[in-house]
Amino acid sequence: MPVPNNNSQPPAAWCYSGNQLKRWRTMANISREALAAAANYAPETIASMERGVRMPTPRVLDVADELCGAQGMLSAAKEYVRRERYSARAVDFIEREREATSLWWYEVALVPGLLQTQTYARALIDNRIPPLDEETVEERVAARMERQAILTDRKPPVGLSFVLYEAVLRSPLADTEQLQRLLEVSRLRNVVLQVLPFAQAFSDALMGPMVLVEGHDHERFAFMEGAFASELSADPGVVSRVTERLSMIRTRALDPDESARLIERMVTQA
């Protein structure tokens, strides 16, 4: 059955903390502009935090706590908002990823998060519309880097298979450092990395990224992410179709050795 991702809903911790921020500010007769000036944020950013659209940052919570005389009540929220280190629509998938025993991942435009360098991850996270504040950017970059422990730190190792469409490697974001990172990861015993060349592409391979996650109980989940919505599903029909597409993509892709040689050539030509 489908697992709701609540793509349009911000995390509950943001909403509650923002609500409390507004209540304390109003009770203390502190204007939004005064709080914004004290915390070095724009008033519109404070308004977004109060509505729960943006994460109330630790600095804002601490400054508001002092200005409003909240005696630690607002600062205490830092522990909870910091836990919201992923976008709302990715939370369910991240939970499944943590429990995975195997994972198949196909990407058509971007390097998968598990394979990104810190520079690549920051470039993606720091160029959102609307933009994120710097503290949120740093939190999310750190969280993405921590997820990469799945590559080497899990016992027994997680079986990981990645197929990247050639366009991923040709992107200006995929600099030499990122390409070398792909080569490094491809040498891990539990990782298979393949490239789907432009010449081998077919319609289903151009429809967007797909991930298949299998957990300890052998239940499989399919995850499809788009620009404005994502879906995590355990529906057997959906999982079957995603499995079929991933299998076809893998058969069209270069084998791991050929893929590594292609990436190596791109590194030397860079």
Segment 27-37, tens digit of pLDDT: 999 999 999 99
Separation of alpha carbons 109 and 84, rounded Å: 26
Measuring CA to CA, which residue among 104, 201, 98 is closest to residue 162? 104
Three-state secondary structure string covering 221-237: EEEEECCCCEEEECCHH
pLDDT number for residue 242: 96
Boundary of a domain, candidates 34, 59, 81: 81
CATH at residue 163: 3.30.870
Select the more confidently predicted residue: 260 or 8.
Answer: 260
Is 1 part of a structural domain of the chain? no
Give yes or no: residues 43 and 175 share one domain. no
pLDDT-based confidence at residue 132 (cuts at 50, 70, 90)? confident
72: left (phi over 0), alpha (psi -120 to 50) or beta: left
Does position 20 have pLDDT exceeding 90, yes or no? yes
Give yes or no: residues 149 and 58 share one domain. no
Give yes or no: residues 140 and 167 share one domain. yes
What single-letter DSSP state applies at residue 69?
A: T
Q: Tell me how far the alpha carbon of residue 49 is from its chain's centroid.
A: 21
Q: Tell me how far the alpha carbon of residue 172 is from its chain's centroid.
A: 20
Give yes or no: residues 55 and 97 share one domain. no
Give yes or no: residues 97 and 75 share one domain. no
Cα-Cα-Cα-Cα dihedral sign, residues 14, 15, 20, 21: positive
Give yes or no: residues 93 and 77 share one domain. no
pLDDT-based confidence at residue 4 (cuts at 50, 70, 90)? very low
Boundary of a domain, candidates 81, 108, 138: 81
Residue 40 one-letter amino acid: N
The average pLDDT across 240-263 equals 97
230: tokens are: 């994502």
Is 123 part of a structural domain of the chain? yes
Give yes or no: residues 124 and 163 share one domain. yes
Q: 218-251 pLDDT, tens per residue?
A: 899 999 987 767 889 999 999 999 999 999 999 9
Select the more confidently predicted residue: 87 or 169.
Answer: 169
pLDDT number for residue 230: 83
Measuring CA to CA, which residue among 176, 262, 156 is closest to residue 216? 156
Q: Are 188 and 255 in contact (CB under 8 A)?
A: no
* For the ranges 22-31, 132-141, 226-235, the one whose mean pLDDT is highest: 22-31
pLDDT number for residue 145: 95
Does position 2 have pLDDT exceeding 50, yes or no? no
Q: 185-222 pLDDT, tens per residue?
A: 999 999 999 999 999 999 999 999 999 999 988 899 99
Q: Is the pTM of this model over 0.85?
A: no
Q: Work out the number of other CB atoms within 10 angstroms of the CB of residue 127.
A: 11
Q: 55-76 pLDDT, tens per residue?
A: 888 899 999 999 999 999 999 9
Is 181 part of a structural domain of the chain? yes
Angle, CA 12 vertex, CA 11 and CA 17 arms, to 5°? 105
Boundary of a domain, candidates 61, 81, 101: 81
Domain that holds residue 224: 88-269
Of all residues in the chain, the percent with pLDDT exceeding 70 is 93
Number of domains comprising the chain: 2
Is 4 part of a structural domain of the chain? no
CATH at residue 65: 1.10.260.40
pLDDT number for residue 86: 66
Separation of alpha carbons 259 and 141, rounded Å: 27
Is 156 part of a structural domain of the chain? yes
Q: 75-126 pLDDT, tens per residue?
A: 999 888 765 566 666 778 888 998 999 999 999 999 999 999 999 999 999 9
Is 2 part of a structural domain of the chain? no
Give yes or no: residues 41 and 147 share one domain. no
Give yes or no: residues 25 and 99 share one domain. no
